[in-house]
Amino acid sequence: MGNCCLTGPTVLSQAESPNKPTIIEDTDKDIRIVFLGTGDSGKSTFFKQVNYLYQSNDTKNSLGGDSSFTSAIYTNILDTMQALIKSIEDYNEKNPDNQLLFANPTSYECAARLKLVETSSRKSANVYTDQVADDVEELWKEDVMKKVFETRYEYHVFDGAPHFFLKNDLKRFRQPYKPTFEDVLYCRRKTTGVIEAKVNFSDFRLVFIDVGGQRSERKKWVQVFGGLEALIFVISLSEFDQLCYEDDVTPRMIESLDLFEETINTETFCQTPVIVFFNKVDIFEEKLKTKSIKTVFPEYEGGGGVEESTEYIKNKFLSRNKHDPGRIYTRCTTATNSDAVKSTIEMVRDTVFEIRKKNANG
Ligand SMILES: Nc1nc2c(ncn2[C@@H]2O[C@H](COP(=O)(O)OP(=O)(O)OP(=O)(O)O)[C@@H](O)[C@H]2O)c(=O)[nH]1
Ligand SMILES: [Mg+2]
């Protein structure tokens, strides 16, 4: 499985495709495509990849070294530590006779200090002092923390957390620290505005637009709805066992299904091509080893395999389309995998170019 399944009308072959970036000023040549989907589905991760893959070295450097990402990464690390500490405390309150305990008595002091660190500030780089770094590193040595980390999906720890806590030594994030592009990809920062990335090809230009997907952000979507040639709707496959960040009650996948239905069937978009990315395949595969999509679809009677489960979810979404099914293209994706995203973006480019050509020929 993986990033292999674009379905829908044939796309242009590589040989025919215009792929040499040049400067284009004529905005008639713009093909505008927006990433839509619920919060956390992975829209900005694709957007970062587009910037990285197609923009100048300056952009690449800024994506890897932008100090605003340093702050966001420190916020991510500290928010995660605070969420883990809180979940231990909540558990202990409910289970006074069977408490989760730290092995090292000084860990309680580390936890007490970390709870007090203010992380919401845009200047989190300043709060990641040596003392804070010591506390994070000491506390992370506790087995209890690692055990609670395994249940992180229950309390909205961001999906990039394993990259920072498991795949890296936390010492690497001590100041002075410059994020790598991989760090930037795994960093979580909710989008709160509208951002564009323009990619030039020899005779047209793709304009990718990224918007925020959390409930409070969706009212801004209408600002970008004019002149769109296609929608990319991003769905997180792995969210089947999670509740919405916004209310902690609604299952995320139900929210995503409803939003998908509402968006693609509006009068504005009922004839617009929709490219659906079923994202986070890597996490989905991992979760299916211990869980089933029955969690969100109790009526599901199939097996626990990745292909079968994906097919079921895919059909659930596609059945919400009330217009021409031929306008929907689907692809399974892992937005953090740069090689796979490159071929996905090329497929998008070829697909929209083909649609434009077909429309031009009547
Ligand atoms: N492992 C893994 N992590 C992913 C994948 N796609 C996104 N993520 C992570 O998921 C988190 C959320 O991704 P974003 O791209 O910020 O989500 P978004 O859809 O832009 O969210 P909003 O801006 O709130 O609408 C980040 O930490 C990403 O690194 C994926 O395919 N695999
Ligand atoms: Mg975003």
Predicted interface score ipTM higher than 0.90: yes
| pLDDT for position 10 | 23
Whether 140 shows a pLDDT value over 50: the answer reads: yes
Nearest ligand for residue 217 CA: 1
The answer to whether 180 and 65 are in contact (CB under 8 A) is: no
What pLDDT digit, counting tens, does each position of 63-79 carry? 666 677 999 999 999 99
Residues 337 and 269 in one domain: yes
Whether 25 shows a pLDDT value over 60: the answer reads: no
Q: Where a domain ends, among 132, 149, 178?
A: 178
What pLDDT digit, counting tens, does each position of 319-354 carry? 999 999 999 999 999 999 999 999 999 999 999 988
Among 210, 335, 313, CA closest to 254: 313
Percentage of residues in the chain having pLDDT higher than 90: 78
Residues 223 and 343 in one domain: yes
Nearest ligand for residue 221 CA: 1
- 107-116, 192-201, 242-251, 264-273: which range is least confident on average? 192-201
| pLDDT for position 203 | 76
What is the pLDDT confidence band of residue 362, given thresholds at 50, 70 and 90?
A: confident
Residues 45 and 71 in one domain: no
Q: Where a domain ends, among 151, 178, 205?
A: 178
CA of 357 to the centre of ligand 2 (A): 31
The residue among 241 and 57 whose pLDDT is bigger is 241
Residues 35 and 139 in one domain: no
| pLDDT for position 134 | 98
Residues 139 and 282 in one domain: no
Number of folded domains in the chain? 2
Is 2 within the bounds of a domain? no
The answer to whether 211 and 220 are in contact (CB under 8 A) is: yes
Q: Whose CA is nearest to atom 22 of ligand 1?
A: 39
Percentage of residues in the chain having pLDDT higher than 70: 88
Supply the CATH number for residue 35's domain: 3.40.50.300
Inter-CA distances, 106 with 42, 48, 102, 287, Å: 38, 40, 9, 34
Whether 1 shows a pLDDT value over 60: the answer reads: no
Give the residue numbers spanning the domain of 164.
67-178
Residues 159 and 308 in one domain: no
What pLDDT digit, counting tens, does each position of 161-211 carry? 999 999 999 999 999 999 999 999 999 999 999 999 998 887 788 999 999
Residues 215 and 260 in one domain: yes
**Mean per-residue pLDDT for 93-111?**
97
Is 276 within the bounds of a domain? yes
Is 350 within the bounds of a domain? yes
Residues 246 and 301 in one domain: yes
What is the pLDDT confidence band of residue 149, given thresholds at 50, 70 and 90?
A: very high
Cα angle value 105/109/111 (rounded, 5°): 105
CA of 101 to the centre of ligand 1 (A): 32
Is 304 within the bounds of a domain? yes
- 20-34, 135-149, 177-191: which range is least confident on average? 20-34
CA of 41 to the centre of ligand 1 (A): 5
CA of 305 to the centre of ligand 2 (A): 30
Residues 163 and 92 in one domain: yes
Pairing state between β 228-236 and 30-36: parallel
Is 327 within the bounds of a domain? yes
Supply the CATH number for residue 120's domain: 1.10.400.10
| Atom of ligand 1 at shortest range from CA of 186 | 29
Among 232, 237, 254, 221, CA closest to 328: 232
| pLDDT for position 57 | 63
The answer to whether 355 and 230 are in contact (CB under 8 A) is: yes
Is 183 within the bounds of a domain? no
Pairing state between β 205-211 and 194-200: antiparallel
Residues 47 and 71 in one domain: no
d(CA 353, CA 362): 14
d(CA 83, CA 75): 12
Q: Which residues line ligand 1 (CB under 6 A)?
A: 37, 39-45, 158-160, 185-186, 188, 190-191, 212-214, 279-280, 282-283, 334-336
Mean pLDDT of the chain: 89
| pLDDT for position 218 | 97
Q: Where a domain ends, among 118, 149, 178?
A: 178
Whether 251 shows a pLDDT value over 70: the answer reads: yes
Whether 53 shows a pLDDT value over 50: the answer reads: yes
Residues 340 and 270 in one domain: yes
Nearest ligand for residue 189 CA: 1
| pLDDT for position 54 | 86
| Atom of ligand 1 at shortest range from CA of 42 | 15
Whether the ω angle into residue 176 lies within 30 degrees of 0, i.e. cis, is yes
Predicted TM-score (pTM) of the model is 0.91
Residue 204 has φ and ψ, to the nearest 5°, of: -160, 170
| pLDDT for position 3 | 35
| pLDDT for position 167 | 96
| pLDDT for position 62 | 63
| pLDDT for position 200 | 86
Whether 278 shows a pLDDT value over 70: the answer reads: yes
Residues 248 and 316 in one domain: yes
| pLDDT for position 82 | 97
Cβ neighbours around 222 below 10 Å, total? 9
Whether 281 shows a pLDDT value over 60: the answer reads: yes
Whether 14 shows a pLDDT value over 50: the answer reads: no
94 known ligand binder: no
Is 3 within the bounds of a domain? no
Is 5 within the bounds of a domain? no
